[in-house]
Amino acid sequence: MKKLVVNFFTAAAIFAALLLMWVAAIHSLHLQAFMLPTPAAVAKAAWDRMPDLLTSLGITAAEAAAGLGASIIAGVLVSVLFAQSRWIRRMFYPYTVLLQTVPIVAVAPLILMWIGSGLFPVALIAFIICLAPIIANTTQGLISVDRNLVDLFVMNNASRTQTMLRLRLPHAMPALFTGIRISSGIAVIGAITGELFASSVRVGVGGIGYAIQYANSQLETDYLFALVAAATVLGFTFFFSVTFVEWIFLHKWHESARTPDED
């Protein structure tokens, strides 16, 4: 507990120092507000336009969550399929690498052109970039089960389904969560990338990606900064939510989910 308090104050001090450097830079370099607004101006812009900001945040959060959720379901199903045989993995695994290497910024306008704008195509873009880390990690978790444990199930005449449900899937849980944690951060990035190309809900209001572009075109740099901060907070929230759920599921039995202070 004491360590937590110390950590909090260290983090707060570092943050305060950064804000000071920011203000100092504006004054010493004589920067204009549209180039770099002061922290106070950013805070004021965020406060004044809170409803818009929250609307944008809500849209992006919904898209990213939908994309991430769908990628978890699809990713686990694909991994279960991959775990069935080495042949299936050899044939289809390269395509999951492709998912990861295709530049999403280049593909996003195509997707929006093909299926139109709105929440769905943006969620689809988030889904695409979330998929590969989940498949890669979960597949590894499913196939790396200790040989003796597999033999134990064989000796008990376990069916393929029983071995999958009672051995491979629980064994892959920590790996699945590693995948989800990686994807939780990029889900938000994927959604914002998609929104850069998506049209607005009404003029000036859309997801964070849209709003960033709009603010940029209007030279509302203070609001743009507020949007960037909101996007960062959103990414953090996703990441920590996943970490929390992971802790709930795994802390009783798995080493990685415990805090280092515990024993």
Partner 1 sequence: MTQPAIRLSKISKRFSSGPAIIENLSADIAPGEFVSIIGPSGCGKSTLLMLVAGLTPLTSGAIEVEAQSPQKARKTLSFIFQDATLLPWRTVRANVALGLELAGVPKPEREAIVTRQLALVGLEHVAGHYPRQLSGGMKMRTSIARSLATSPRILLLDEPFAALDEITRDRLNEELLRLRSEHDWTILFVTHSVAEAVFLSDRILVLAPHPGRLAHDIRIDLPATRSAETRLTPTFDTTVAEVSRTLRHVEAGS
Interface with partner 1 (CB under 8 A): 146, 148-149, 151-158, 162, 166-167, 170-171, 173, 252-255
Least CB distance from residue 161 to partner 1, whole Å? 11
Which two structure tokens, joined as six digits, stand for 18? 């950064």
For partner 1, the closer of residues 21 and 155 by Cβ is 155
Query: Which residue number, 31 or 149, has a Cβ lying nearer to partner 1?
Result: 149
In the complex with partner 1, the residue whose CB is nearer, 76 or 208, is 76
R_g over Cα of the chain: 23
Residue-by-residue DSSP string for 112-177: HHHH-SSHHHHHHHHHHHHHHHHHHHHHHHHH---HHHHHHHHHTT--HHHHIIIIIHHHHHHHHH
CB of 252 to partner 1, least distance (A): 6
**Host H or E run for residue 59:** helix 50-82
Nearest residue (CB) to partner 1, 216 versus 256: 256
Cβ-based neighbour number of residue 25 at 10 Å? 11
Smallest gap from Cβ 177 to partner 1, in A, equals 13
Measured over the CA atoms of residue 235, residue 239, residue 244 and residue 246, the dihedral's sign is positive
Which C-beta is closer to partner 1: that of 106 or that of 155? 155
Contact present, 141 and 206 (Cβ < 8 Å): no
Query: Cα–Cα distance between 153 and 160 in angstroms, integer?
Result: 9
CB closer to partner 1 out of 93 and 153: 153
How far apart CA 23 and CA 37 sit, in angstroms, is 9
Owner of token pair 């203000």: 23
